[in-house]
Structure 1
Amino acid sequence: MKNFIPDNVSKYDNVYDVLKERGFIEQVTDEQAVRELLGKEKIKFYIGFDPTADCLHVGHFMQVIIMMYMQKYGHTPVVLLGGGTGMVGDPSGRQDMRQMMTVETIDNNCNAFKKLFDQFLDFDDEWKYEGNEGVYSPGHQNRDPIPGKAISVNNASWLRPLNYVEFVREVGTHFNVNEMLRAECFKQRMADGLSFFEFNYMLMQGYDFTVMARDFGVKMQFGGNDQWSNILAGKRLSRKWCDINVEGMTFALLTNSEGQKMGKTMNGALWLSADRVSPYEFFQYWRNVADADVNKCLRMLTFLPMEEVKRLSSLEGAEINEAKEILAYEVTKLVHGQEEAEKALEGARAAFGGGGDAANIPTTEMAAAAFEGEGKGLVSLIKELGLVPSNGEGFRTIEQGGLSVNGEKVTNPKQNVTKDMFRDGEILIQKGKKKFHKIVIK
């Protein structure tokens, strides 16, 4: 059993109260009914993940944490992989249509997602959903899941076999177009043009909820705030078509104090895979959050007891850095494991002159021959290392005084790095106050 969440994480026994205490809950279809349901029963609930990439990012991670809390308190998380809905793409919160993916790419991404979920949740991998062959041929589970275990299902199982005429006849008749057009998830797209292709997405997600409620007893859907309209669509369809009452709940998106989504880096999304974003870079992202965001991140991304969250959040001045270091360590430990979190912590302390092991600073080995003679252009080097996204950004960084080599500020944008600049075969490049990278020649 994966024991990420300590028993003292909250004084509450009902997971609804725990999630509310941590500041997750935004909208609920019926607050009293949901709180009673989660307190009296151990339910199946689901969160959907469309496979838009082959890796999870921090935006997904918030939903993963919700599932971890639910599993901790005895409920059954249903991870819904969007092998069917991913073929359309959710228009919610978007200003343009998502890029179309091949079926092969979608299936590969679904498989990669499942492996990442295995890091955080205990699954009953013998549980299966079987037999769905369209609107008139419902599927079923092979057996009840093992209590306390999560299960995973792919909506390709029921969406890909659909006959379109049957689908719109049985499902489409329960959707009012005027109500759909008022939905928040479509508003951003109406001015630029919403394709009929994407307009189907709400029907598909509503159908997902209904199929799972009907075929294996799912009672709730969770999602980010941008999923509220889709969740309501599923609740209505379940009641109208199958006479089943289900509930829904949405959660705050992870935004900073200025209302912008967190988890964006210079090089794109803050991915959870070490192949995409190194544990050190991941650590540094959380170490560098704004003071005003410390409380929210500690509440939502760590499993520290609320008393400790409040203590750390109340620190001021230079002491707030203690809270940021603990935040970075806890989140990195959760995603990459304790060993990598320790290395990242040591590397950060060494880089910032506070002690620690300099061996844990991100390091790249390069051939000594690359620095012979006139050497290698510094701007092209920092681009190659991923410290800047382009040569233009590299030149601007130097012109603005934001780059140092071995502790000395670089003033010449056309400077080359030569072999004689290495000390004991190493050179340390610093971008801004927070980013360090060591090169070792061989």
Structure 2
Amino acid sequence: MSVDPHLLDDLEWRGLIAHSTDLDALRDELSAGSVKFYVGFDPTAPSLHMGHLVQILTARRLQLAGHTPYALVGGATGSIGDPKESGERVMNSLETVAEWVQRVRAQIEPFLSFEGENAATMVNNYDWTASMSVIDFLRDVGKHFPVNRMLAREVVKSRLESGISFTEFSYVLLQSMDFLNLYRDHGVKLQFGGSDQWGNLTAGVELIRRTNGGKAHAIATPLLTKSDGTKYGKTEGGALWLDPELMSPYAFYQFWLNVEDEKVGELLRVFTFLSREEIEELEAQTAEKPFLRAGQKTLAEQVTTLVHGAEETERIKAASAALFGGGDMHSLSADTLGAALREAGSASFAKADGIPDIVALLVLTGLASSNGEARRTIKEGGAYLNNQRVEDPELVPAESDLIGGSWLVLRRGKKKFAGVEAR
């Protein structure tokens, strides 16, 4: 099948190649025809996160350019976990890992096409690892790994003083064996992953050379950092999860909407499929009129649509507009509104006790520090209930005011708002 000869140029422009084994040789292979490639995901949590999304979207770029993806979900490697600098991982039960394998597979599948000439294939390394004996593993794989080179890996060096188990120390052998199996059985010639995986990636290339005399390739995507050098992918509540049960789509959207101006262009390149011209135009708009937040708005819409779908993104945008006085509150879904209000800050009251009056609600939400301040705010015309200005300080909201039967939205001025949930 025909392939896009400019794929590597596009990946380089997007800043998606931090390391490579032999870029010129890989360019020749990618230009000659469809190349089988793989990227792996270890189910060490019930959901993938922002860092994994870089790899998923990179796989999608390669498939759109005519190449053939193998998405590996590591039931075996996920049972152990790649060594991390902070200390030994907690091993999850095989039952838990098996459940997470299915959840992770379901998150990856919508991004790839499983039909056509270069249809994607989903694989699990547990299938070829579980039945392998220790003797076979040591003879066929272990003998190709000099211990001095394994000790030289940065993550291993950082753990030598605090301690590292043989299990985590040997992780690189398992991942390298994955590449060897896919190379032998499926003709996979390229593996990619994050730059923190570079040692594992090159070890797989080397194992293929040592055992088969074969030529394979590896590339690594860069670690994304904020302007101050700290890692992206973390929020105050934890990782930037792709699972809506672990992070609401509204909170996900808000993360992208609030990225720094200096990073908008970089993140548009990595996380969207917009053209070079479109991205450069958005970068220019962000530089000239940063207050419009054109880059951030496009980034938030594009990435949220990719992960959560166009309908959910539209609901989030409607909720955002309504919260700031730009729409009908009662047209919003209770789930989307609730997620938005919990993110912004919310309080609650017992429904059985009746709905408090507006003054009590303003104090309950922290929009006013006292009853007196709440009354002054109402008198000055700065208090709103469900986007309607409140003029009577004795107002008690009615049951019909509860959006979705559960929520009241209070606002003070143009920008301060909070929710109150009836429970």
Change (3 A) 1:311 1:174: same
Q: Given the alignment, which residue of 199, 202, 217 partners 1:229?
A: 199
TM-score by length of 2: 0.81
Counterpart residue number, 1:285: 255
2:387: which partner in 1?
none
> Residue by residue, what CA displacement relative to the aligned partner does 1:43-84 show, whole Å, maximum 9, x if unpaired?
111111000122221111111100110110111111111101
Partner of 1:238: 208
* Residues 62 and 254 in structure 1, CA contact (< 8 A), matched pair in contact too: no
Q: Match of 1:118, SS?
A: helix
Measured at CA, do residues 224 and 441 of structure 1 come closer, stay the same or move farther in structure 2, by a change above 3 Å?
A: same
After superposition, give the CA deviation of every residue in 1:219-266 in whole Å (9 maximum; x if it has no partner).
011000011101111111111112211110000123222222222122
Q: Deviations over 1:363-386 (max 9, x none)?
A: 2797522566899x99xx98xxxx
- Aligned partner letter, 1:57: H
1:152-205 per-position Cα deviation (integer Å, ceiling 9, x unaligned): 110001111111122112211111111111112323322321111111101111
Q: Higher helix share goes to which structure?
A: 2
For 1:165 and 1:77, how far apart are their aligned partners in 2? Answer: 32
5+ residue gaps, structure 2: 340-347, 384-393
Distance change in 2, residues 1:357/1:329 (3 Å): farther
Partner of 1:344: 316
The structure having more radius of gyration, on CA atoms, is 2
CA 1:366–1:212: 2 relative to 1, 3 Å? farther
1:369 aligns with 2:361: no
Matched letter for residue 38 of structure 2: Y
How many percent identity over aligned positions?
A: 40
For the 8 Å contact 2:38–2:190, the answer to whether it is kept is: yes
Q: Which residue of 1 aligns with 2:143?
A: 173
For 1:438, give the aligned amino acid: G
Aligned residues: 378
Distance across 1 between alignment mates of 2:310 and 2:354: 36
Asked if the contact 1:87–1:100 (Cα under 8 Å) also holds between the matched residues in 2, the reply is yes
- Aligned to 1:363, what secondary structure does the other structure show? helix
Matched, 1:331 2:314: no
Change (3 A) 1:167 1:346: same
Counterpart among 418, 427, 442 of residue 408 in structure 2: 427
CA distance in 1, matches of 2:302, 2:47: 21
How far the C-alpha of 1:356 sits from its partner, in A, is 4.2
Task: Answer yes or no: is the 8 Å Cα contact 1:214–1:244 preserved in 2.
Answer: no
1:113 maps to 104
Structure 1 372/435 Cα, relative in aligned 2: closer, same or farther at 3 Å? closer
SS in 2 for 1:438: strand
Quickly say closer, same or farther: Cα 1:309–1:214, change in 2 above 3 A: same
Match of residue 41 from structure 2: 49
Question: Post-superposition shift, 1:434?
Answer: 8.3
1:252-301, Cα deviation, whole Å (9 max, x unpaired): 12322222222212221121122222222111111111111111111111
Which of the residues 53, 59, 81 maps onto 1:61? 53
List runs of 5+ in structure 1 lacking aligned partners: 1-11, 125-145, 383-394, 409-418
- 3-state SS of 1:45 partner: strand
Aligned match of 2:79 in 87, 109, 115? 87
2:419 is matched with which residue? 438
Aligned counterparts of 1:434 and 1:173: Cα–Cα separation in 2: 64
CA positional deviation for 1:362: 2.1
* Residue 430 to residue 90, structure 1, CA distance change in 2 (3 Å): farther
| Aligned mates of 2:368, 2:179 — CA distance in 1 | 53
Deviation per CA, 1:196-220, whole angstroms, max 9, x where unpaired? 1111101111111111101111101
TM-score normalized by structure 1?
0.78
State the Cα RMSD in Å: 3.2
What is the identity, as a one-letter code, of the residue corresponding to 1:79? Answer: A
